Structures are given as C-alpha cells and as structure tokens.
Structure 1
C-alpha cells in the first residue's frame, strides 16, 4: 500500500498539483464555488417558495442577471419586457416579485389594518453602513415620530411663509436665463449688435444663439431652494451659474451608489467595505465636512424660520437627535427635494418641446391667466389646470424615481393583488414599467396631457397606476410643495420665454437608470418675450 505521505510526490510526478499547492487550493475553491452556485440555482428553480412564479429562467435561478442589468442601468426597461411576456406578477430575481397591477400600490405600500405588520423596508436597499438612518430608512415607530417632527416644515402655513424664499430663487432663475441667452433666437441667427465693417460703414453683425442646458439651470434652482430650506443658505449655484462642488459630487455618486447596492445584495459589504471606504474616503470626508459646516450654521441661528429643520431642532434634545442624525436627514432632504424636482422639470420641458401642440396650449393658458409676472406665485399657479395635466403626464412618462422601491413581506405572508406571497419575499411596483404598460394606458409611450382631463379617448386608462410620490404612511412628505414649486418654475419659464430644442433629432429620454436617471444635458434655445410696460 502506498504511504500516504508520498501521495503528494506521486501526484506531482503525474503532472498534477499537490493538494497543498496554491494551484490546487485555487482549483478546489473554484470547484466548490461553482458547485454552490449550481446547487443554489437548482434550489431556486425547484424548491424555493417562489419557484412556481413565472419569470426569466436566469433571473429565477440567480441574482447575477438581475444585478448585471441593474449595474448596466437598464433594469426598469427590462422589467416592462418581463411583464409583457410573463404577466402582471413576475419573479425578477430568486427572492423578488414585481407587480404591475395598480392595486399593488395599496397592498404593498398602503396603510395596514390594526395589528398587521407593515411591509418593511429592507436594510440592504435603504441603509448604508456607517451612516445613521434618516426619514427614508427609519423603522416604522421612529419614522412616525420623525415624520411628525418634520411635518411642520411642509405644512400649509410653512408653505405660505416659504413663498418669498422660493419665489426669490425662481426670479433669480429667470434673470439668469435672460442674461445667459442674451437675446438668443429660437433657432435662426439673430442680429445682436451694430458695428463698422471693413469699409467703415455701419453694419449689423450676426451672432448665432447659444443653447442653454435646462437640466443644469433647473438643478441650480432646486438645489438653491432646498439648500435654503434645509440649511438656511443656498449653494450659490444660480448666482455663479455653475454647480457647487458638493452638488456636483452628489450627481456623480448616483452611478457609484448602484455598484455599492449590488455589493450589499451579494453579501460582500463586510468583505469589500474597507476597499470601498478607501476609494470614497476623500469624497466622504468632503461631503461630511460641508454638511456639518452648513448644519452648524443653521443650528446657530436663533431666529425661528419656516424651513424643514425647524421642527427637528425644536425637539432635538427631547428626542435625543445628535448632529449625525440631523445631518443624515438634511442630506436626504437635499437629494429628495432637489434632484427629483429638477428631473421632472427637465422631462416636462423636453416632452412639451417635442409636442408643439401641447406647448402652445400651455403657453396660452399661462400667458392669458396672468397679466404680469408679479401675479405668478405659489398660490396662483394652482389654477393652471392644463399645466397640472402636463406635469402629471410627464410624471407618468418620465417618473423621477423610475425603479421599484422594495418592501419585504411580513411574517406569515400576505396577499398582494389576490396572490399569496410568502414571508420574507421582496416585492415592489416598478414605476416606469407600470406607467408604460399597455394594459393600463392607451398609447403608453405617447405624451397626452389630455388623459388627465377626462378626455373620452383615455377613459379606460388606469390613472391610479401612476404614483410618483408613493402611497400610504411613507408617501412623500413634500408632495404638495414639490408640485407647487414645479408649477411655479415652469409657469415663470413659459411666461418669460419662447423655447425650441437645439437638437430635436435626439431622443433625450434614452437614458440609463441608476436608481435615479442618468440625465443628459438638455440644450434649448430661449427667446425672451418682450412686453410693453404700458
């Protein structure tokens, strides 16, 4: 019998690696990993509690295809394709179901009966290691308390008090646009100054108009507004007509955040966190310092002001809220209250410019309703019915948050649209996919504001499928303010300028989605509307 101690030598003589060699260890590890993946896939396809639900084969077998589409920025588009093929309930990953039925909004996100557990928010998606929870990621109990404290800043009384703050920045936007377009025309060359030609004769020189990136201008406006309402001071974007470095960093972090989310879902956060920390350390320190500096200046203000942090600051000691938690909620307000509003305004502007008949109707409504620009205020724009229809349709076609916001089915399982779902399952309504489902809307990819105005052509549309502000106890706290702010900004722009796309042949909506939209610049020619002072 061969001595066991000589087996390694015999294997080497036969050209095989020793069991203790690095090559053998890697080979064994690879084999074990491949075996685990295969066995896990077999379990997911045959024995998993969701194995009976339809969906793409690879998505039912493994998380990897789901994460691949997520990191590529195509997942919301793919989910619509899945629903078209497999129906209203689709298994888009081994433990996740997507629902396309409007009723699912209430079943998943709505209020639960007394004694029933809520569909909780999964920490993997909503929380980041090392960052305190905010209103978005708090537990049910803490969320209720925090929401009540912050509701003060979003009340009708506060909105009336905030009108001067918001209106001031919107007026600054109009002045900035007038200065930037500097007499630019709506597409053709325009004579802008007079001078002497080479013969000494006075001649008019032509200057080609310069298109303005409306994505940037809307972002500058909404970030300055929310900066003032959250920290008591703007970022200075409109004044400088450029992005503040912090604001710019927030935009660039969206794609990286999607990668971090994939790492967490794979369970590799603890393993890779030191590497991620090292890569993002400089940006994190910069972000934290800027946040703390601004927050400290806001805390030091002794005068009460109608902003979003006032309620938190009044109850800060009673609720034991330290600076870190205040900063987490302030940062949430900055992103949620600016990025989404600017996104919707950008989308609405593009869709209106691509549909001249809708733009003409909106322009007539705005310019006939107000005799002067001073009449355009937060309260008065609520009378613009066609504008609200345009914004609602823009939110359907181009929802600011196009993904599905995941929830976890509580203990004991629950029914979602008459489908029993086992406990622990991740469920969601994917906004972009639901809004473009032909089962819910006539011509779902077309922009028709009339579908929100009782037009009989769209009488069968399921308008309740469109929920850009979510539903239930965790719906968007700033919904009314966001709609009023969007109306005010769009009304002021339409009242003061004629607009035309600089690149009408390009589909601006062709964008990747990394939780939020990865927006392209939106170049637009603006022509100031001149009015008589008489």
Structure 2
C-alpha cells in the first residue's frame, strides 16, 4: 500500500507544480460547471464567463470599467443581469425600494455583505455596522446633519466658500492650481498678466475637505489657506484606487494570506494616517465647548455606548471621505457639464446674477430659491453620479422578490447607479445633459426620475444629504456669481474616467475671469 502511494506522489519540484496546476484547473472547472448548471442563479441571464467565474467581474473592476460593463450587459440581457456567479444587477427603479427600502414589520433587511464593506483589522463605522448598531449610531449623529444644524453652521461653511472665492481671484492670474506645463494666455485689461487655468477639481476638494474637517474635527486641514492638499487628505485620495485591489483580495478569499504582507509594506503610511487621525480627534474630544458638529452626538454618549477612540476615529475618517470627496466630485462634474453646454450655463448664470445683488445675499438659505440650479445639479448627479457603482446587499433567509422576480437567499444584489442612470428604457437621450428633464419639460415626460437615487433610499440612505445639497448650491452659486468660466481644453472628454468605487478624476483646468461690478 505504501509503495503504491509513493508511486502516485510527485518526486520532484516539477511534479509538485504539475500536480498543483492540475488540481487548480480541476477545481476551477468543477466550480464553473456548478455555477452554470447547479447554482441557484443558473436561470438568470448573463454572459457565459460572468456566470461561470468571478474572474471577469474582478478584471473589469481592477481596470476601472465595471460600471460601464454592467451598463452594456443590461442593454444585452435586460433589467436583471447575473454579473458574477452569485451577484445580480437590477436596473428597474422598483429595485431601489425592494433592496434598500424599509422592510415591513418582522421582515429581515437586505444586509450589507461584510466582504464589501469592512476590513477585519479596522473597527466598524456607520457604513459597516450591523443593523442595530447602525440605528444607534445614526440617531447619535443625525442632529449634526439636520437642517437646523446646517443653519447653525452657516457662518462656518460660508466662511470657507468665501475663502474659495478669494483664493480663485488671487490665483486665476497666478500660480497655485495651475496645471503642470500650462502657460496660460494673455488677458486684456489685466496689465499684461497671463490668465492661468485653475484645476477646479483641486479647488473644490480643498473647500469641501476644509469644511468637513472643521465639522468633524473642529479644525480645517488648511487646504484653502495653502492652496494645496494636506498630506493626510492626499493620502486618502490615493488610497481610493487601491481599494479595488483590496476588495478583489477579499472576494477571492485571500485576505488572511495577503493582508499581513500589505500591512507590513504600508506600515509607515498607516502609522502616519493613524497618528494624524488620533491627534485631530484628541483635540476635538478635549474641546471644552459644545458645537453642533458631526461628532457632538457621539461624544455625548461615548461612555454610555462604550465607544473607544478607535471607533470614533473610524467614524470620523468615514465622514471626511464621504462628506468631502463626493461633494467635490459632483461640483467638478456639474462645472464641466455646464461649460460643455453653454445654453445651460447661460441660463444658470442669468438665474444666479439676477437673483442676488451682492455676495452677502448668497447664503445657505437663499440659494434654495434657485430652481434651475437644482435642476442642473440633479441632472449632473444623473449623468455623473458621485458613487457610480452598485451598493451591494444580500438577500435575506428564505429569499425575496426584487422588481417582481424571486431571488434566492444569499444572493448579492445591487442597483448600479451609472448603468441605471444611462438606461435608454428610463431616460430620453440618457447620454445627453438636459437639466430641463427635472423641470417638467414635455420632451422628457416619460423619464423615470425615480431611477436616480444618488443618496440611496431607506434606513441606510446617506446621512449627509442636507449638507451635500447645501454645499453644492452655495459653492456653485458663489463661483458663478463671481466668475465667468471657460474650459482650457474643450476638446478633451473629461468624463472619460476610470471608476474604482469612486471616480478616478482627471484635473479640470478652467480659465476664470472675475466679474467686474461697479467698476471694481
């Protein structure tokens, strides 16, 4: 018996490699056959390779093209597509309510799959908490995001927006924000000074990061003051692309093997990030005054709820990214789309400059009257959603109906925002920018505006919706009131970007001309 076993086992390195390769191939083959013919989702449509294996999904994710691929698949296969062996994408607007909406009493929610939302070594935050803990955290933090709180913070937010305007006026004929190699162009009436293209992506990011830094930590990052990224903020931006790699590692079940190596390789940057976060958090905790910001509710109940500094830091870091990056992304997209559509920009400019007679009149409250601006922002969110991916959920035990179709338990489901927002079944001219579709224009009467849900819906919808709308309206109104704008390179398609959970944005170089009023 032992002799027979010895005969079957490989006796060289080449043999070991050959045996391992053969076993891996057989494992993948059997897995693919199961996924195609025995899996509970075998009857759902989708391309053969996506139904058979996770690898096509990961390939498109790592190349930054997955949301575009999902859109193409919906055009080929309809409103429900199997995009990986255990994942379905829905483009039916009803799916928003079925997947993310409030469930009837006693019904289990579509939970967030841990593999998509949480690393094992990082404490949970509002984004990744269980249903019960999420409800508690949300109640504690909700006051800081209320309309009342926004009004109380109006001076703070408005101060940073005014600093943005001053910075743009200083530098639109100067250096910071200038694109590398950009020489600018001559501008008459400015004593021979050259107009320099300003990277509006950077300026918007600097503004929103400073605002959210003050609202979360009690102090800004100083981005606007220095007209440059704080190293901590810059590190956050650079980590977004790497997030797709980490997700792929987790989806392949390799987290326990690979993450210790990655942590050692990135130990220095991780310690820098943690130290900066803790320093800022400790200064906020030690403030001896109450302020209606985002952490005040958590700090009041910190001891009662047993929340240590690590969990506070996890939630503060989440607020920094979610409360700044997405708002700056939308403002960048809206600016580009308006500049590419002069009629829309002209109409919006007339609305802003006819409504307000001075900078002081432009406030968080007064910008709510700008109806066409709201339409422009809503259309920008449809065309260029700040979070273009699908937010995955897991079908609860016993299965559930989504958009009228029964889906087995354990299936990962999502509505992919970019794909749904560009679906020809829901929108007239979906790849064109038309703010009028949000203003009851008969040409767009058949549009399914309920398909556009940039803040998601239900119990886990975006807590920062009020802040996002307030910031977007105020910043865009102030910029349009004070400047005429022109794309530095109108021939470049700025929207042609990769997506790694969030957009991997290009610089957006724009020439700005300060508006002259009363001879000033």
- Pick the TM interval, shorter chain: over 0.9
Q: How far off is 1:143 after superposition?
A: 0.5
For the pair 1:266 / 2:232, whether they are aligned, the reply is: no
After TM superposition, give the deviation of residue 160 of structure 1 in Å.
Answer: 1.1
Which of the residues 309, 323, 328 maps onto 1:337? 323
CA contact 2:333–2:380 (8 Å) conserved in 1: yes
User: Does residue 21 of the first structure (1) align with residue 16 of the second (2)?
Assistant: no
Residue 50 (structure 2) pairs with residue 51 (structure 1):
no
For residues 6 and 273 of structure 1, what CA distance do their matches in structure 2 show? 37
User: What CA distance in whole angstroms lies between the structure 2 residues aligned with 1:190 and 1:109?
Assistant: 52
Work out the CA distance in 1 between the residues paired with 2:504 and 2:467: 24
- Contact 1:76 / 1:433 at 8 angstroms: preserved in 2? yes
The one of 404, 427, 437 equivalent to 1:441 is 427
Shift of 1:22: 1.7
1:293 pairs with one of 279, 292, 300: 279
1:163 paired to 2:154: yes
| Deviation string, structure 1 residues 158-217 (Cα, Å, up to 9, x no partner) | 111110110000000000000001389xx96224666xxxxxxxxxxx443210000000
Cα separation, 1, equivalents of 2:309 and 2:88: 38
Structure 1 residue 152, shift from structure 2 partner: 1.2
Displacement of 1:478 in angstroms is: 1.1
Distance in 2 between the 1:254 and 1:279 partners?
Answer: 17
Matching residue within 178, 201, 209 for 1:215: 201
Q: Deviations over 1:116-141 (max 9, x none)?
A: 00000000000012111000110000
For the pair 1:40 / 2:26, whether they are aligned, the reply is no
Q: Report what 1:414 is aligned to.
A: 400
1:415 is paired with a residue whose SS is strand
Native 8 Å contact 2:173 2:194 kept in 1 = no
**What SS does the aligned partner of 2:467 have?**
helix
Query: Which residue in the other structure is 2:179 paired with?
Result: none
Is the 1:435–1:444 contact (alpha carbons within 8 Å) kept by the matching residues of 2? yes
> 3-state SS of the aligned residue for 1:498?
strand
Structure 2 runs not aligned, ≥5 long: 176-183
In 2, Cα distance between equivalents of 1:297 and 1:7: 67
Give the superposed CA RMSD. Answer: 1.7
Report how far residue 431 of structure 1 moved.
0.0
Relative to structure 1, the CA distance from residue 497 to residue 269 in structure 2 (aligned partners, 3 Å threshold; closer, same or farther) is same
Query: Alignment partner for residue 465 of structure 2, among 473, 479, 485?
Result: 479
* Matched residue, 1:199: none
Contact 1:183 1:528 survives alignment (8 Å): no
Partner of 1:525, secondary structure, is strand
- 8 A contact 1:502–1:525 mirrored in 2: yes
What is the SS of the residue equivalent to 1:500?
Answer: strand
Q: Distance in 2 between matches of 1:248 and 1:3?
A: 61
The whole-number CA distance in structure 2 between the counterparts of 1:533 and 1:132 is 57
The count of corresponding residues between Structure 1 and Structure 2 is 512
**Worse-superposed segment, 275-284 or 99-108:** 275-284
- Residues 271-282 of structure 1 aligned to structure 2 (within 5 Å): 271-282=257-268
Distance in 1 separating the partners of 2:375 and 2:294: 28
Higher Rg of the two aligned structures: 1
Q: Is the 8 A contact 2:200 2:332 kept in 1?
A: yes
Pick one of 197, 218, 223 that aligns with 1:237.
223
2:378: which partner in 1?
392
Contact 1:173/1:238 (CA < 8 Å) preserved in 2?
A: yes
The CA deviation at 1:392 is: 0.0
Displacement of 1:20 after TM fit?
2.7
Distance 1:421 1:25 in 2: 42
State the TM-score, normalized to the length of structure 2.
0.96
Matched, 1:349 2:340: no
Write the deviation string for residues 247-295 of structure 1: whole angstroms up to 9, x where unpaired: 1000100111110000000000011111111122122111111000000
* d(CA) in 1 for partners of 2:509, 2:296: 38
TM-score normalised per structure 1: 0.94
Contact 1:111 1:472 in 2 (8 A): yes
Residue 204 of structure 2: SS of its match in structure 1?
Answer: helix
Which segments of 5 or more consecutive residues in structure 1 lack a partner in the other structure? 12-17, 195-205
Task: Describe the superposition over 1:220-259 as per-residue Cα deviations: whole angstroms up to 9, x where unpaired.
Answer: 0000000000000000000000000011000100111110
Are residues 1:189 and 2:202 paired? Answer: no
Which secondary structure state, in structure 1, belongs to the residue aligned with residue 20 of structure 2?
helix
Equivalent-residue separation in structure 2 for 1:461 and 1:189 (angstroms):
45
Give 2:178's aligned residue: none
Instruction: Specify the SS of the correspondent of 2:459.
Output: helix
Residues of 1 paired with 2:193 and 2:364: CA distance?
37
Give the 5 Å matches for 1:460-499.
Answer: 460-499=446-485
8 A contact 2:390–2:416 mirrored in 1: yes
- Aligned counterpart, 2:439: 453
